[in-house]
Structure 1
């Protein structure tokens, strides 16, 4: 039997099995506005809505669940979830997960500081002796994660990190630029918090699924349909709704770790 026919048969068997037992593809994620979040009981966000549209076109039903990020990863490892939304491509996770060739979006990790305790960081070395609020399970790039110049202080949520920042319990917060701007706006901190110049790292984020029968072809179909959707006016409208986030394709940028203005 040709390889492609085997893949098609496996994928069809997987989807038919889910339908026969009334099951849905179980996807977990952490609120990560404006990419995916809950607004008064309604899930929304650029990556969430794009994923919903793609799966609708593929005829795949999805069951969504919001959890802390470390819990999302545990659910995948334990087999209690089939996929995860907005995860970075990490080679250590390839034994467990399949990634589409097409990313959903790109994040840019930057630092935020309180205006009454200014730390306009331009290089990692400027963090010496400081404390930075982080989120458990997030990948910020090796230079940041392995540096001994500063301390990393995890918090259960982005809001908690910014709360600690205002209380002076940490010196800076690291998060995606758009996520930070959204939290600042939501918490009405526009006059109290500023962004430092340093770009710690850039990462593409994906919808990834656990390895299993038919999942490889499902990932291929998802990537193809997502790429097609990104070329449509509907995606441009969706992007504009969430701050004009541009479409990112795999060929436009590879995952990189860098410092802005680094010598």
Structure 2
């Protein structure tokens, strides 16, 4: 009886995590989501938010680094519960279950030759142009469905800038702060290409599997968790830490 009472008191004062789940995360999109040096975890803004949101619901989320195309494929097949980070579009909405609130919003930045002036561009301005994209990445419907834009996919965002620097494409689309990180590592590219401006801003999500038996359940729990960490200040602290680390470093 004494043991039962002690256990009840302990669990009341110190609630244990009810569940541990594994979520796929992109392995090559720093600083938002990239594999740790050991390739056993995912680091960046997205996993910090995902882990905090699930933790608020008593769930420990283990993030598994996976190349993005496979990340999504496993979710489609139902062998993984979910994958981050995904744009909600007419194409992806039919394939995955989405939570209502985005994990965060990121700019879709267009890069061009270093000789080009910075200016406001629209998707219509890209019609008739060859524009680099990244294999497996999700993009807004307005961009990806425009058949007048000549899409030129490559394996990574870094490869896009390499193609742009060599003149094989006219523009490249990169997400958020990935470009500044690449250019910091590759000064040879920095002298040949530059960001021309933000062409769009969009929310990114953790896409959940329609075929996994618990996909809908954890999509709802993540949404509930996001609402909780936004209300209690945890989300704001994560965003502030990220901004202090990266935005100030690039003077953005």
TM-score, with normalisation over the residues of structure 2? 0.74
Partners in 1 of 2:222 and 2:230 — Cα distance? 12
Residue in 2 that maps onto 1:32: 29
CA distance in 2 between partners of 1:160 and 1:46 (Å): 23
Give the secondary structure class of the aligned counterpart of 2:85.
strand
Output one character per residue of 1:145-180: Cα deviation in whole Å (capped at 9) or x when no partner. Answer: 233444211111111111122222222110223232
Change (3 A) 1:144 1:214: closer
Q: Please, what is the CA RMSD of the aligned residues?
A: 3.1
> 1:117–1:171: 8 Å Cα contact kept in structure 2?
no
How many Å separate the matches in 1 of 2:158 and 2:217? 38
The alignment's TM-score, normalised by the length of structure 1, stands at 0.71
SS at match of 1:168: coil
Q: Which runs of 5+ in 1 are unaligned?
A: 1-14, 246-263
In 1: Cα distance, 2:111 partner to 2:29 partner: 17
Q: Which residue of 1 aligns with 2:77?
A: 78
Count of residue pairs the alignment pairs up: 225
Q: Does 1:113 align with 2:112?
A: yes
1:157-205 residue CA offsets vs partner (Å, 9 max, x unmatched): 1111111222222221102232323332333454443222351x33211
Question: Which region of structure 1 is more displaced relative to structure 2, 74-83 or 117-126?
Answer: 117-126
Structure 1 residue 39 displacement after superposition: 4.9
Matched, 1:240 2:240: yes
Matched residues in 2 for 1:232 and 1:192: separation?
45
Report the CA distance shift for 1:93/1:150 in structure 2 as closer, same or farther (over 3 A): closer
Cα-to-partner distance string for 1:61-112 (whole Å, 9 max, x where unaligned): 4443333322222212222211111112235444553222221011221210
- Contact persistence 1:27–1:62 (CA under 8 A): no
Could you tell me how far apart the structure 1 residues matched to 2:79 and 2:237 are?
A: 34
Corresponding residue number in structure 2 for 1:259: none
Aligned in 2, Cα 1:215/1:128: closer, same or farther, shift over 3 Å? closer
C-alpha displacement of 1:132: 1.2
State the match for 1:68 in structure 2.
Answer: 67
Please give the residue correspondences for 1:75-154 in structure 2 after superposition, counting only pairs within 5 Å.
75-94=74-93, 96-116=95-115, 122-154=121-153
Cα distance change on mapping 1:141 and 1:54 into 2, 3 Å: closer
User: Equivalents in 1 of 2:195, 2:89: separation in Å?
Assistant: 27
